[in-house]
Amino acid sequence: MPDAILSVLAAAAPSTTSILLASMGGLINRQGGIVNIGLEPMMLVGAFAAVIVSAQTGNPFLGLLAATASGALLGLVFSWSITRLGANEIVAGLGLNLLVLGFFGYLLPTVFKIEGTYLPPGLVGLPRVNIPLVGQIPGLGPIVSGHDVVTYLSWLSVPLASLFLYRTPLGIQLRATGANEEAARAAGVPTLRLRDFSTLLAGAFAGLAGAQLSLGVVTLFNKTMTGGRGFIALAAFYFGDARPGLTALGAVIFGVFEAAGFRLGSSGIPSQLVQMLPYLVVVISLTLVAVRRERRLRQRGRAAAASLRTAVVR
């Protein structure tokens, strides 16, 4: 049993990476006042760009840069449709999902003459990073060592996101924009540019997350390879109330259950039940978040009522 748990935890590290990166970008966007449900197509575009550039250059790190840039560009276009053209963010996000899926559904068979998986010659995946000494520690070694560089960057993104949002003037202005856009604008904060910047960051994070899937987890591209991880990332930052630490916890929980699902799938359990597991965890988690929020509102209401009664008596 302990060996099974350790193997799940070791597999959870790469499974968590894409969710964690996308959720960090999504929470920064959410703090700026935009709910980004376009993380999934931004991940898919990043995954494709990484495969193309890595295959053409033989350098997976250039593929990471291309994925980050393409995700950021798509995020900026998505943001402009909301901040400049006045599109509804939910409708724009759904439209972006359908557009990107349709684009790859047309591109792969038409241009590359394939229907499913694209595996170009010369494609190079990300190398594994083995941490000296740590990798030899029983139990702990496989969990923290032997992963691709993007996995370690995803862990680093949590304190960096927190530092940016709560310790820099730009992050404080961004949170003010999300809390009350009119008041922030009256104070001289460039709210539209900040929202565009936050969506650009979200796209960059999502593009990098997609590259980790196509160059780190596997070394290929498939138009369904994101598998709903962008929406799971959305659930993660709602679970964490758009706070880096709690959001990271949510991403880890979802990543662990995804890894557990893979292991259960190899033990004879029907694949349909295994595929349901991560999404079932998402539904349960969001339900618990809603219950917690409702209790908090009730407590505040009772406290306000008690204060009012005290004031009336006096």
**Integer distance in angstroms from the first to the last C-alpha of the chain?**
64
Q: pTM for the full model?
A: 0.88
User: Is 130 within a domain?
Assistant: yes
Q: Is residue 264 part of a domain?
A: no
| 52 within domain boundaries | yes
| CATH code, domain carrying 25 | 1.10.3470
**Predicted confidence (pLDDT) per residue in 65-105, tens digit:** 999 999 999 999 999 999 999 999 999 999 999 999 999 99
Q: How many CB atoms lie within 10 A of CB 220?
A: 18
Tell me, yes or no, whether 294 lies in a domain. no
Q: Is the pLDDT of residue 144 over 60?
A: yes
Residue 7 or residue 159, greater confidence = 159
Residue 271's pLDDT band (cuts 50, 70, 90): low
pLDDT, residue 272, reads 64
Average pLDDT over residues 198-212: 97
> What does the pLDDT read at residue 54?
97
In a domain, 124, yes or no: yes
pLDDT of residue 1: 43
Q: Which residues contact 31 (CB under 8 A, 6 or more apart)?
A: 165, 171, 174, 175, 178, 198, 242
Give the domain range for residue 167.
2-255
| Domain-embedded: residue 237 | yes
Residue 308 forms part of a structural domain: no
Mean pLDDT of 236-260: 86
Higher-confidence position of 82 and 141 = 82
Q: Give 19-68 pLDDT, tens digit per residue.
A: 999 999 999 999 999 999 999 999 999 999 999 999 999 999 999 999 99
At 117, the amino acid letter reads T
Which of residues 270 and 231 earns the better pLDDT score? 231
- For the chain, the domain total comes to 1
Domain-embedded: residue 59: yes
